[in-house]
Amino acid sequence: MLFVACAVWSLRATARPRTHAALFLLLETTCLGTFAALDLILFFLFFDLSIVAMYLVISGWGHGDRQRSALMFFLYTFLGSLALLLGIIGLFLGSEPRTFDIVRLAADPPWRDDPTTAGLVLLAVGIGLAVKTPTVPFHSWLPPAHTDAPAEGSAVLAGVLLKLGTYGFVRIAMPLLPDAWQRWAGVVIVVGVAGVLWGALVALAQTDVKRMIAYTSVNHMGYVLLSLGAVGYTTAEAGPRAVAATGAVTQMVSHGLLTGALFLLAGVLWSRGGTYAFDRWGGLARPAPVLATLLVVAALGSLGLPGLSGFVAEFQVLSGSLAAVPVAAVVAVLGILLTAGLLLRALQRLLTGDQVRPGGVDHVGDVTTRERLAVAPLLALSVLVGLVPVVLLGVVGPAANTLVELTSR
Amino acid sequence: MLLSVVVLLPAVVGLVLVAVPRLPDAVASWTWLATTLVVAGLVAWTWWGFDPGGGVQYDVKVPWIPTVDASYHVASTACPCRCWR
Amino acid sequence: MSGAPAEDPLALLPEAALLAGAVAGLLLGLWTPQSRQRRVAVVVVAACLLSAALAAPGLTDAARTVFSGTWSVDAAAGTVRVVAPLATALAVVLLRAGVAGDARETETYVLATFVALGADVLAASDDALMLVAGFLLASVPAYALAGTRRDARGTEAALKYYLLSALAGVVLLVGVVALVLATGTTSWAAVGETITTAPRAVVALAAVGIAGALLFTAGAVPVHFWVPDLAAGTPPAVAALLTTVAKLGALVALWRLVTGPFAEVPGAAGTAVAVVAAASMTLGNLAALPQTEPRRLLGYSTISQVGYLLMPVAVAGTTALAEPALLVYLAAYAVTNVGAFAAVAAVPQAGTLQEWARGAAARPWVVVSLLVCLLGLVGTPPTAVFVGKVAVFAAAADGGAPWLAVVAVVNTLVSLAYYLRWIAPAVAATWRRPPRTAPDAAPDAGPGVAAGVLHACAAVSLVLGVAAGAAVAA
């Protein structure tokens, strides 16, 4: 869906549209391929190619210090993918008989009787995926990449590419290394909570809308990690852990929809005035009511208002982890409070008060049809999941149960 | 088969877009939109036909490097279905 | 040559084709006017292709030795016998653009063919004296090739290469003599049987001598000093030839050494090679980082690539994954490296990376192919080197040297930095300049041909990456 939204978004004039379109289509293939792959090498292939494609998008159509941000993105995430490759090779070498096939590896997890090696392999895989997710402390590539990427690039980056990381955890790290995951679940939980808090705190301090949204991404991914870690706590019952797993997946979906929408809306700001800074915009509710509405919906969803998908996700994450690791869950609630605060404040600064516009912009046009068509479906889906979660949970529930089973071996 | 189409269709269309010379810009943009809509539709279709309790479906496995058992193995499971939305 | 058990002239058919091609080319060239010497290039390329074609069926045959056990016909030799002539053919095509009309044109093509022949001999030799012959065949023609450019840098390159090569040759002979002294025979098979009872010091001397010379041909630390100057001082085609073809033979010869005669020697054969591998990787990468000249950068990059290539050699005795890893990486590296040098040739006036970016800005497909080749050298999927790197890392981790795999991964990341320093300005320049939608006439044929070779190499690299299964199964 996100890719459709980006396609609609870019129907307006873009430089070099052929290459732009082609690159996004390539990105789409790499993402779809990563999600569908059931072979480690195939997974890695698509994983790596998505980095190349995103690099080209940022360097070619971004703004600001785009070459440098694109390079940093490439180098940092490539480092992560190399660590992942080491982990994949470790998995391959530990399997009996030697295979790269995920299904076979899940049926007979490698390195069962060698906890040290299993731990090291999990470390390699973990670091690789952690850079992509991104988790604290490997997240420093995200804000510059987002700030300097074009709007549709950011939307795809946040909405889909980050999911590649968390999906990797669910597909590779947990089923294939169950004991190691159980043993190190505590670390995962700490990292998740750190992400929640750090993301929210730093987002509070931002003066730039896009950077703020970027840090909320770090915050949201922290929730995912928290619940995935909770799944590994086999001392708790299976029921809440399945809820946590479902929460993780729901959060992945919800974050994609909502943050994607937020980035596209931030792109509206850029196209109108060429700046993302908070103090250059203000009081937009009056001249651009539709924009304001969309922004409010997206932001509220992001902080977890009931009725939108974010609430469903965070509720599941928290209730699931509460049973397993109560302390961490309570700390994570703090994160929700912080996020609520910062998003509401952002809304206030952007939408209410006196009209403030960057110099040289005398009329802030409301969202065009194209932009509306792009953003609205994303938000609509989020509302749908929020109000009728069974649509999503019916599919995800059994899978979450399977995940819990696989990880508990 | 369907899955491979879903995964690879965008890349193929993308390649065609850059390879064909002198393509008007509007055509490129609309082709892109059309492709993403088609893919989204196909994904929705696979989702419709997906049986949640059935585990792995739409399985395609083509051996690639037999000596190390690396293969082109794609399938549909619940998690990626959701991630595709 | 009579009555010896395994004597099979047909086994040497690919080499005979190369030799015939070289001789025919030379004779033809002597009687051809200066302006029509293209036909010599045609003959040489045809001979190379024929040689590769003749060697291809032998890849899947069972391993055997011919001519009294001095020549080995197996997968490793077969791979070199296919890849080396093909790489030479590509280099000759590239060369044609650079030396057309030169007074020494014919000789250059013929010398290139001899280097390929030398690589074949090096790879297949199962005997110390055959190895010496191969070494000389691979390096002596290179003396003249290194001096193709008759300017100051070319002379410096040629002189450095000649001196180091002469030293390496002497060291090789000393090593061979020591081996004969220690074991009384030159055949690898026989040496393997008697080496454990030979005096250790002499064996060590032999190992160092022979391996040292082979490392020189491969361009590895600590005898790598000729590589950057050669890469910078010769036309890109010659640099491609000398950093690719001879290396293939040398690496397979080293592999044979480690798995054959020196396999039983207790102690640090594998570790020594591993240390050399790590040193090559690291030094090559670190030295490449500050480079601003594309050719020198590629020169240092080939030094680091030798490091990766030496990894399977280091663990050759301890894991079955090593041999296919080495062969796959060799083939992948050859294609990608020639492609990278072709990229340099495609923008001939560029002295620095920035100039290259400016020169290539109007030709986006050249930049795309460069992207494929350079990312290929790093090992991004789905290029051929990616498969090679996965295989090599797996072999190292499995063979008891996981530290080597980690070092290699770190080095791969470092290498990305300098490849990106080439890619990034090129990509940025392409975005700035609107690509022409009409096909533009190449200003002169040279860069056009080079671009063609570049695209071909990029494409083959991708195809090989996908088709690696067939290659590995073979």
**Which of C397, C416, C424 is the closest to A93 by Cβ?**
C397
More confident residue, C2 or A188: A188
Q: What residues contact A390, with CB distance under 8 A and at least 6 apart?
A: none
User: Which pLDDT band, with edges at 50, 70 and 90, does A358 fall under?
Assistant: low
Contact present, B70 and A105 (Cβ < 8 Å):
no
Measure the CA–CA gap between A138 and A121, rounded to whole angstroms. 18
Binned at pLDDT 50, 70 and 90, residue B73 comes out as low
Answer whether C469 touches B (CB < 8 Å): yes
Within an 8 Å CB–CB cutoff, is residue B78 touching chain A? Answer: yes
Mean pLDDT for chain C overall = 78
SS (H, E, C) chain C: CCCCCCCCHHHHHHHHHHHHHHHHHHHHHHCCCHHHCHHHHHHHHHHHHHHHHHHHHHHHCCCEEECCCCEEECHHHHHHHHHHHHHHHHHHHHHHHHHCCCCCHHHHHHHHHHHHHHHHHHHHECEHHHHHHHHHHHHHHHHHHHCCCCCHHHHHHHHHHHHHHHHHHHHHHHHHHHHHHHHCCCEHHHHHHHHHHCCHHHHHHHHHHHHHHHHHHHCCCCCCCHHHHHHHHCCHHHHHHHHHHHHHHHHHHHHHHHHCHHHCCCCCHHHHHHHHHHHHHHHHHHHHCCCCCHHHHHHHHHHHHHHHHHHHHHCCCCCCCHHHHHHHHHHHHHHHHHHHHHHHHHCCCCCCHHHHHHHHCCCHHHHHHHHHHHHHHHCCCCCHHHHHHHHHHHHHHHCCCHHHHHHHHHHHHHHHHHHHHHHHHHHHHHHHCCCCCCCCCCCCHHHHHHHHHHHHHHHHHHHHHHCHHHHHHC
What per-residue confidence (pLDDT) applies to C30? 82
C20-28 mean pLDDT: 85
Token code pair at residue C290? 């500050």
pLDDT for residue A31: 79
User: Could you read off the pLDDT of C275-305 as tens digits, one per residue?
Assistant: 888 888 888 888 888 888 888 888 888 888 8
pLDDT of residue C443: 38
Strands, E, within C71-146: which ranges? 71-73
Average pLDDT of C462-471? 60
* pLDDT winner (highest mean) among A63-67, C135-139, C236-240: C135-139
Give A70-119 as a DSSP string.
HHHHHHHHHHHHHHHHHHHHHHHHHSSS---BHHHHHHS-TTTT-HHHHH
- Kind plus residue range of the DSSP H or E element containing B64: strand B57-65
Give the bridge partners for B74, in sequence order.
A37, B60
> Which tens digit of pLDDT belongs to each residue from A21-64?
777 777 777 777 777 777 777 788 888 888 888 888 887 777 77
Mutation site, C318, C393, C410, C433, interface A, largest A CB count within 10 A: C393
pLDDT tens-digit series, residues A276-290? 676 666 666 666 777
Alpha-carbon distance of C469 to C474, in angstroms, equals 9
The closest CB to that of A71, out of C406, C420, C431, belongs to C420
User: In which residue are the tokens 């030697």 written?
Assistant: A98
Give C266's contacts (C-beta < 8 A, 6+ positions apart). Answer: none
B51 touches chain A (CB under 8 A): no
User: Which sequence spans correspond to the domains of chain A?
Assistant: 15-183, 190-358+365-387
* C470 and B CB contact within 8 Å: no
Contact (CB<8Å) A78/C416: yes
> Is the pLDDT assigned to residue A13 strictly greater than 50?
no
Q: Higher model confidence: residue A361 or residue A332?
A: A332
- B40:A3 CB<8 A: yes
**Lowest mean pLDDT across A12-26, C59-73, C409-423:** A12-26
> Under 8 Å CB-to-CB from C337, ≥6 apart: which residues?
C240, C243, C244, C298, C302, C305, C377
pLDDT tens, position by position, C203-232: 788 888 888 888 888 888 887 888 888 888
Residue A320: band (very low, low, confident or very high) from pLDDT cuts 50, 70, 90: confident
Looking at this protein, which amino acid is placed at residue C449? Answer: V
Q: Percentage of chain C surpassing pLDDT 90?
A: 0
State residue B21's pLDDT score: 65
| Cβ contact C67:C4 at 8 Å | yes
Measure A357 CA to nearest chain B CA, in Å. Answer: 31
Interface test with C, best of B68, B69, B72 (most C CBs within 10 A): B68
Mutate to test the interface with B, among C371, C462, C472 (most CBs of B within 10 A): C472
Q: Is C119 near chain B, with CB under 8 Å? A: no
Q: Are the C-beta atoms of A92 and A177 separated by less than 8 Å?
A: no
Q: Report the 10 Å Cβ neighbour count for A47.
A: 29
Chain B nearest CA to A286, separation (Å): 32
Whether C5 has a pLDDT exceeding 60, the answer reads no
- Contact list in C for residue B64 (CB cut-off 8 A) is 466, 468-469
* Segment C106-133 mean pLDDT: 86
Residues facing residue B60 across a β-bridge: B74
Beta-bridged to residue A208, according to DSSP, are A277
CA gap A260, A139 in Å, rounded: 18
pLDDT band at residue C170 under the 50/70/90 scheme: very high
Count how many domains chain B has.
Answer: 1
Q: Which of A233-242, A359-368, B30-39, C250-259 has the highest mean pLDDT?
A: C250-259
Place C445 in a pLDDT band, splitting at 50, 70 and 90.
Answer: very low
Nearest CA in chain C to B64: C469
Distance of alpha carbon B24 from alpha carbon B11, whole angstroms: 19
Looking at chain A, the whole-number percentage of residues with pLDDT higher than 90 is 0
Q: Which residues of B touch C394 (CB under 8 A)?
A: 68
The pLDDT value given to residue C375: 82
Least confidently predicted of A79-93, A94-108, B54-68: B54-68
- How far apart (Å, rounded) are the C-alpha atoms in residues C39 and A361? 68
- Residue numbers in A near B84 (CB within 8 A): 32, 35
74-133 in A: which are within 8 Å (CB) of C? 74-75, 78-79, 82-83, 85-86, 89-90, 92-93
What CA–CA distances, in Å, run from A239 to A245, A319, A322, A405, A407?
10, 11, 12, 11, 14
Q: Which two tokens stand for residue A275?
A: 């700046």
* pLDDT attached to residue C319: 72
CA distance C258 to chain B (A): 24
Q: What is the mean pLDDT of residues A159-180?
A: 78
> In C, which residues are within 8 Å of A71 by CB distance?
420, 424
Asked if residue C293 lies in contact with residue C349, where contact means CB atoms within 8 angstroms, the answer is no
pLDDT digits (tens, 9 = 90+) for A150-160: 777 777 777 77
* A81 within 8 A of A177, measured Cβ to Cβ: no
Average pLDDT over every residue of A359-377: 64
User: What is the average pLDDT score of chain A?
Assistant: 76
Residue ranges making up the domain that contains B56: 2-84
Contact status of A4 with chain C (Cβ, < 8 Å): no
Q: Does A78 contact C427 at a Cβ distance shorter than 8 Å?
A: no
**Percent of chain A residues topping a pLDDT of 70:** 79
Between A266 and C159, name the one with better pLDDT.
C159
- For residue C442, pLDDT over 50 is answered with no
Nearest-Cα residue of chain A relative to residue C413: A79
Cβ-based contacts of C380 with chain A (< 8 Å)? 48-49, 52
For the segment A226-239, the average pLDDT, to the nearest whole number, is 72
- pTM for the whole structure: 0.80
- pLDDT value of residue C208: 83
**Hey, are the CB atoms on C472 and B63 less than 8 Å from each other?**
no
Q: Is pLDDT above 70 for C60?
A: no
Q: Are C377 and C415 in contact (CB under 8 A)?
A: yes
